[in-house]
Structure 1
């Protein structure tokens, strides 16, 4: 008996719905067994920053999540000068050692962060040994060399890459007027790269900074990278921190900087990715660590959960970012989020202390968000 048109359409719609449901189930099963690191293995490393709290408590749930989902890890704080070397002659190795064992045990790429930075330093770093006044040029160089040689040397062959210098450039003003610059001049950057390379020639060495979408800042960085390459300074990559917001910077701005750094002869690393979803006011759209903006309820509108529409906007933002990164997969070595789940993000307290923010791929219960599924779907859609 011939099938009626209505029956044919009904069965066709049912078949299409079943196919869509099967695809959805397949995606869900894939997400449950395959982490982002595996999904993007042929493109670039997928990383996260590991907090001191996770290392101190040995949070098994968080560590298992990181091991499943990521192929790279960064020391969020435990390798910064003020943490690992808080005063002359004193080293704190327990947390860095734990991170190194974790990364080695899971075959993960480990990024050491950071050798030279103006913030989170030892209290006495820029003081003269006698305790009176500012340290001399020669004494600071000795401190810097000893720090780099000790830290890089301890983890030679275990740390794959180092953020050698962090945030040494101001917005459209050239070099940051930090104590490093004031005492040593710009020479401190190349000294750091040379010393790290001498200790571990196999390690990849990066310059890392925020707001790298800023054209003036990006041009300045690209110029000194080209100069370093020309003069044999061992620099291998530029880290774009990528602390972004829902609507800014634009994809075009980020793309221009990726192309600029790649054309300067180095690989690009997206090093500290997160997406701030909360409203701001003047002075709050920055990654300068010293910035503080006073708390107000209007700047913390969703303390009990992100509205569905904002969740969708966050997912779309992550999707467009990862589409860009995939476009430049041959120039990007790594994409790392600055933290794993929303409960541990620095954005809960920066630059407005006490807020509830939602910038990462996993929620406060360590469950994947719509943003995670959007990023994973880019690799599962084919």
Structure 2
């Protein structure tokens, strides 16, 4: 009986391994002519954000694409503080450990996201046992413990961290988050200080959306100068690039690349997607708390994306990648915010229930027709 059980276990393991191998081989055959990470290897890393099904390799089609196409990964959700430390002093590293192990196993650049953010921070972080705001000293101590516990756990394993996320508003002013209200603007400087102490060799980033808006761009530049002047170790600035078909303009994005690079830091595209859906308002960014009611008019492509819209999306992606290649000496990474269209947060934000097509791979994890055009840009550059 024991021998039979051992044989059955071995056969099951072999079947799982064979299935996973077949999925990877199938993905590779389908996309041999469109291997993104190979095409851009002399320019910048090509990354993607992973959800839990991909981290735990439950979605074999998605995992096959990740392993074939990308050489950098970022945790979409599992490294945010609400998941890592849901209760004070109670850390849950199960998913984050798996994410880092996945990256190491596949020899990928590993990016941690995100240490300090006004959203998806557990409520306890800011209040005492009576529900009142904690003192400045208490919040600094909590921030330090969280950052240093997380960063030191992955010291030498995580390449870079989004230390602070979205602290500047579109008008260039500081976001009046709880971190800002209780600690003041010094919270960013302290966050970078604590992260650097925990892992002096890790790259440390500030990350934000709508960075092509001139007032916001200038606000971020002013803030980073302030942090660097105070001794903060800012390695790079992330442009999230949650874009639309007609906004922002390529020229304004280029100004942001040049402005950020002028600070003496790396520039990276950290959360790229391009929505084909109507925007609720101009300069729609990525304010996670923004929500609007569903209407059929705002969800025009529920049955599929028309050929002319796919062509328009492709041209837009080619325009952006042309810009990134032009400035490859300044840009270290371009990361897509999701693997396939079905994974994208844009299907539910800012209007729940919509069907969007914002990524390079469709809902079946097949490359869209224009991916080959993006790759062709690298061939032109060689000539």
Q: Settle same-fold status: TM greater than 0.5.
A: yes
The aligned residue for residue 277 of structure 1 is 276
The answer for the alignment partner of 1:350 in structure 2 is 349
Partner of 1:230: 229
Q: Given that residues 271 and 335 in structure 1 are in contact (C-alpha distance below 8 angstroms), is that contact kept between their aligned partners in structure 2?
A: yes
Rounded to whole Å, the distance in 2 between the matches of 1:96 and 1:58 is 16
> Could you tell me how far 1:178 is from its partner in structure 2?
0.5
| Structure 2 partner of 1:312 | 311
CA contact (8 A) 2:55 2:102 kept: no
Map 1:177-188 onto structure 2 (within 5 A).
Answer: 177-188=176-187
Deviates more, 1:230-239 or 1:98-107: 230-239
Contact 1:318 1:374 in 2 (8 A): no
Partner of 1:16: none
Residue pairs, 1:77-96, within 5 angstroms: 77-96=77-96
- 2:15 counterpart residue number: none
Matched position secondary structure for 1:121: coil
Aligned: 1:142 with 2:147: no
* TM-score (norm. length: structure 2): 0.89
Residue 189 (structure 1) aligns with: 188
* Aligned residues of 1:283 and 1:293 also touching (Cα < 8 A): no
Paired position in structure 1 for 2:123: 123
Alpha-carbon distance, 1:146 to partner: 0.5
2:22 is matched with none
C-alpha RMSD of the superposition: 1.7
Q: Distance in 1 between matches of 2:348 and 2:283?
A: 11
Moved more, 231-240 or 329-338: 231-240
Deviation of residue 29 (structure 1)? Answer: 7.4
Equivalent-residue separation in structure 1 for 2:30 and 2:55 (angstroms)? 28
* Greater Cα radius of gyration, structure 1 or 2: 1
1:250 maps to 249
CA distance in 1, matches of 2:33, 2:96: 29
Structure 1 residues 312-367: Cα deviation after superposition (integer angstroms, max 9, x where no partner)? 00110000000000000000010001001000100000001000000000000000
- Structure 2 residue runs of 5 or longer lacking an equivalent are 1-27
Contact 1:226–1:265 (8 Å) recurs in 2: no
Question: How many residues end up aligned between the 2 structures?
Answer: 354
Cα deviation digits, residues 275-320 of structure 1 (max 9, x gap): 0101123379231000001100000011111000000001100000
Offset from partner CA, 1:44-83 (integer Å, 9 cap, x none) = 0000000123235632221221011001000100000001
| Contact 1:237 1:268 (C-alpha < 8 Å) held by counterparts | yes
Q: Distance in 2 between matches of 1:311 and 1:132?
A: 50
Instruction: Give the drift of 1:123.
Output: 2.7
Instruction: Classify the secondary structure of the residue corresponding to 2:125.
Output: coil
Q: After alignment, is 73-82 or 60-69 more displaced?
A: 60-69
Correspondence 1:1-382 to 2 at 5 A: 31-32=31-32, 35-56=35-56, 58-128=58-128, 130-282=129-281, 285-381=284-380, 382=383
Report if the CA contact (8 A) 1:110-1:160 is conserved.
Answer: yes
Give 1:217 shift. 0.8
Query: What CA distance in whole angstroms lies between the structure 2 residues aligned with 1:176 and 1:373?
Result: 40
The alpha-carbon deviation at position 204 of structure 1 amounts to 0.4
Give the C-alpha shift of residue 192 in structure 1.
0.6
**Which range moved further: 32-41 or 214-223?**
32-41
1:377 positional shift: 1.9
- Kept in 1, the 8 Å contact 2:34–2:372? The answer is no
The 3 A distance-change label for structure 1 pair 187 and 284 is closer
TM-score of the pair, normalised by structure 1:
0.89
CA distance in 1, matches of 2:279, 2:149: 41
Helix, strand or coil at the partner of 1:333: strand
Alpha-carbon distance, 1:144 to partner: 0.5
What secondary structure sits across from 2:32 in the alignment?
helix
| Shift in alpha-carbon separation, 1:215–1:247, aligned structure 2, 3 A | same
Check conservation: 1:284, 1:351, Cα contact below 8 A.
Answer: no
- Are the aligned partners of 2:57 and 2:63 in contact in 1 as well (CA < 8 Å)? no
Alpha-carbon separation, structure 1, partners of 2:130 and 2:315: 53
- Cα shift at 1:34: 5.9
Structure 1 Cα separation of the partners of residues 130 and 154 of structure 2: 31
* Partner SS for 1:281: coil
Q: 1:15 — aligned with what? A: none
Distance in 1, matches of 2:300 and 2:74, equals 31
Q: In structure 1, list runs of 5 or more residues that go unmatched.
A: 1-27
Residue of structure 2 in register with 1:24 after alignment: none
